[in-house]
């Protein structure tokens, strides 16, 4: 393999690709060729660097210079100044917003300082479409060692001793689940990777598969060896075309290199993997519904027991873990369970990947040790709240999680602490909310999603969540009553206790947690008929202060329904019967003459 003096790493994840990183890569290659530099400099399309807010990202190695928001116009300057002359392009360096200083090395950035990449260890480092690069970073060493030096039980014991808990949401001990499948009777067993990531705002599994698909393949192969399975399936959303494409490439190369197929690495162990595309049903994230979908049936959950470890896919013993869980397995077996336990907490060892989104300055993908606080994630890694707004809450666990208020910002994050606060780890979605977020309205948003995604099999979820949604719609439109609040609390608990699967059992979490922590906000909606955050349109009224209005007509010109009348240089007035409460006038006025009440 050729050695180069310098490498230009360009983010090839979905986010940066949508911002033109493929065109940037092509232009880098053309410009290097035109300048006769192709023998000295290699351009590498990597996976996600994580700092999505600053993409497209370009990193120059070996000096580790980190360029942000790069465009095609910057390619010539990077090559001429940095590659040829050795002078860094300062305008493209990340600027720390508080100190207003440029930072050259990503390791010095607050966004990366407290992160530790294990599941994402190769994302943003290697070309995910080249097997040689994965192998160069110890790829398939764990599988080779396990097949030649470890028994099946020793593999399971290492995973069990590491304390790795399932990263799909439930947090069940991974090694224990593997031991159940290992002990299950039957000669035909299956390993299934759940890549059906459907939470709004979540993109953890997608980024792992786009940036390092072989880590998941190797983890599945190790699981297959441990439990005695010869067949695996990756159930992945069809809406992830780039992840699917790179997974297909990785599977083909793994077969070519002898890491999949018959008699892997000259042993008597045989294992292969197929891809099954999901149609976007959120309920198929539940393992029994996922199994039915792979079998060709409608994705509906079934009661347990029997558990999949005893009777799963095609009624055979089946092990199911999610993408992030499998991505941790190889490095645990390579470095040992004690190494893994050096980070995280006693009951939740290791790291967790979060998709950080919402009203946050640094939107992106982060991997942090368990036990880090919400404050550290939001205000250090996340860079605080956008536009100087006040922090209000953070929701963990996607539509199934709860909203955690500011008084718990110093809570160490792990499975048990989040559950105690009325939320959950989930697969890793983390949505940050500011003072302009209405908690009743955000609960309605998530419940609309779960009602839409319910399979309808059990009546608590099919009917109960619809009734909850109806009450929320009453409250946010100004028709709610105090009795509705009591009904929502009671009904939410019944749905949690009686629904068939995790979708229904966790659907009331956003409502119950916001009712618990933000009850005064709900009371304002039902008693005062006001939305304190000004987010519920039916409870908002826009008025013009005649003493401040200068008659510039800016508000009238942006009003889509011509509800604002008045002469030039004279105070204007809003026709409340015509006003649709879109807020365009409020956002446009430069004189503070329009009030939202």
Please tell me the distance from the alpha carbon of residue 348 to that of residue 514, in angstroms, as a whole number: 26
pLDDT at 2: 54
Task: Please report, for residues 344, 398, 412, 428, the alpha-carbon distance to residue 373 in angstroms, rounded to integers and kept in the order given.
Answer: 12, 18, 4, 15
pLDDT at 1: 39
Please tell me the distance from the alpha carbon of residue 67 to that of residue 92, in angstroms, as a whole number: 5
Q: Kindly report the backbone phi and psi dihedral angles of residue 506, in degrees, each rounded to the nearest multiple of 5, phi listed first.
A: -110, -10
Q: Tens-digit pLDDT profile for the chain (597 aa)?
A: 358 899 999 999 999 999 999 999 999 999 999 999 999 999 999 999 999 999 999 999 999 999 999 999 999 999 999 999 999 999 999 988 777 789 988 888 999 999 999 999 999 999 999 999 999 999 999 999 999 999 999 999 999 999 999 998 788 999 999 999 999 998 999 999 999 987 777 888 999 999 999 999 999 999 999 999 999 999 999 999 999 999 999 999 999 999 999 999 999 999 999 999 998 888 888 899 999 999 999 999 998 899 999 999 999 999 999 999 999 999 999 999 999 999 999 999 999 999 999 999 999 999 999 999 999 999 999 999 998 899 999 998 888 888 999 999 999 999 999 989 888 887 788 999 999 999 999 999 999 999 998 898 999 999 999 999 999 999 999 999 999 999 999 999 999 999 999 888 999 999 999 999 999 999 999 999 999 998 898 888 899 999 999 999 999 999 999 999 999 999 999 999 899 888 899 989 999 999 888
Q: Kindly report the backbone phi and psi dihedral angles of residue 268, in degrees, each rounded to the nearest multiple of 5, phi listed first.
A: -90, 10
User: Looking only at Cα atoms, what is the longest distance across the chain?
Assistant: 88
Our CA angle for 282, 286, 290, nearest 5°, is 85
**439-528 carries CATH number 1.20.1440.230:** yes
Q: What is the 3-state secondary structure (H, E, C) of 449-514?
A: HHHHHCCCCCHHHHHHHHHHHHHHHHHHCCCCCHHHHHHHHHHHHHHHHHCCCHHHHHCCHHHHHH
Please tell me the distance from the alpha carbon of residue 251 to that of residue 247, in angstroms, as a whole number: 6
pLDDT at 308: 95
Give me the residue spans of the domains in the chain: 6-113, 131-341, 351-434, 439-528, 541-596
Question: 579, 434, 577, 452: which is closest to 503 by C-alpha?
Answer: 452
Burial of 108 (0-12, 13-18, 19+ CB in 10 A): middle
Please tell me the distance from the alpha carbon of residue 482 to that of residue 149, in angstroms, as a whole number: 66
Partners of 404 in beta bridges:
394
CATH topology of domain 131-341: Rossmann fold (3.40.50)
CATH topology of domain 6-113: Glutaredoxin (3.40.30)
pLDDT at 31: 96
Task: For the chain, state the CA radius of gyration.
Answer: 26
Q: Rounded to two decimals, what is the model's pTM?
A: 0.91
pLDDT at 467: 96
Our CA angle for 156, 158, 164, nearest 5°, is 90
CATH of domain 541-596: 3.30.70.20
SS3 365: strand
Burial of 296 (0-12, 13-18, 19+ CB in 10 A): exposed
CATH of domain 351-434: 3.10.20.600
């Amino acid at each position: 393999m050729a050695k180069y003096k310098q490498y230009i790493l360009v983010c090839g994840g979905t986010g940066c690709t949508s911002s033109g990183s493929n065109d940037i890569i092509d232009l880098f290659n053309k410009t290097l060729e035109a300048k006769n530099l192709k023998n000295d400099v290699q351009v590498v399309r990597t996976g996600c660097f994580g700092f999505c807010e600053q993409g497209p990202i370009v990193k120059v190695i070996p000096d580790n210079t980190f360029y942000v928001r790069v465009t095609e116009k910057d390619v010539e300057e990077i090559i001429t100044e940095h590659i040829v002359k050795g002078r860094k392009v300062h305008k493209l360096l990340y600027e720390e917003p508080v100190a207003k200083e440029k930072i050259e090395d990503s390791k010095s950035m607050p966004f990366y300082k407290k992160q530790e990449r294990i599941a994402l260890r190769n994302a943003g480092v290697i070309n995910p479409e080249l097997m040689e690069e994965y192998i160069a970073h110890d790829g398939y060493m764990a599988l080779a060692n396990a097949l030649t030096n470890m028994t099946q039980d020793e593999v399971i014991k290492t995973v069990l001793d590491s304390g790795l808990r399932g990263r799909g949401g439930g947090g069940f001990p991974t090694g224990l689940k593997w031991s159940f499948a290992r002990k299950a009777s039957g000669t035909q067993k299956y390993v299934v990777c759940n890549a059906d990531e459907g939470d709004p705002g979540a993109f953890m599994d997608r980024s792992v598969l786009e940036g390092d698909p072989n880590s998941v393949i190797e983890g599945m192969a190790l699981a297959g060896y441990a439990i005695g399975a010869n067949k695996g399936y990756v159930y992945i959303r069809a809406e992830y075309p780039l992840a699917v494409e790179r997974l297909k490439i990785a599977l083909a190369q793994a077969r070519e290199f002898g890491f999949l197929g018959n008699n892997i690495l000259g042993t008597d162990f045989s294992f292969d993997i197929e891809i099954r595309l999901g149609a976007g049903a959120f309920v198929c994230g539940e393992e029994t519904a996922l199994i039915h979908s792979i079998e060709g049936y409608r994705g509906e959950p079934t009661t347990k027991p029997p558990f999949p470890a005893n009777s799963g896919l095609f009624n055979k013993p089946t092990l199911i873990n999610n993408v992030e869980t499998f991505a941790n397995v190889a490095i645990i077996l390579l470095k040992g369970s004690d190494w893994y336990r050096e980070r995280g907490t006693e009951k939740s060892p290791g790291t967790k990947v979060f998709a950080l989104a919402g009203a946050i300055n640094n939107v992106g993908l982060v991997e942090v040790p368990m036990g880090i606080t919400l404050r550290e994630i939001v205000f250090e890694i996340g860079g605080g709240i956008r536009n100087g707004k006040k922090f209000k809450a953070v929701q963990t666990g996607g539509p199934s999680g709860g909203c955690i208020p500011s008084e718990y910002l110093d809570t160490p994050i792990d499975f048990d602490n989040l559950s105690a606060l009325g939320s959950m780890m989930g697969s890793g979605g983390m949505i940050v909310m500011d003072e302009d977020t209405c908690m009743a309205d955000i609960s309605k948003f998530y419940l609309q999603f779960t009602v839409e995604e319910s399979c309808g099999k059990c009546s608590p979820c099919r009917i109960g969540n619809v009734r909850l949604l109806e009450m929320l719609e009453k409250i946010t439109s100004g028709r709610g009553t105090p009795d509705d609040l009591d009904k929502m609390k009671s009904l939410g608990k019944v749905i949690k206790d009686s629904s068939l699967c995790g979708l229904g059992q966790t659907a009331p979490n956003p409502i119950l947690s916001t009712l618990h922590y933000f009850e005064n906000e709900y009371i304002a909606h039902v008693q005062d008929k006001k939305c304190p955050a000004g987010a519920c349109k039916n409870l908002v009224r826009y008025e013009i202060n005649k003493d401040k209005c200068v008659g510039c007509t800016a508000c009238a010109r942006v009003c889509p329904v011509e509800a604002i009348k008045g002469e030039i240089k004279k105070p204007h007035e809003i026709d409340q019967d015509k006003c649709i409460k879109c807020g365009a006038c409020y956002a446009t006025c430069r004189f503070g003459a329009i009030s939202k009440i």
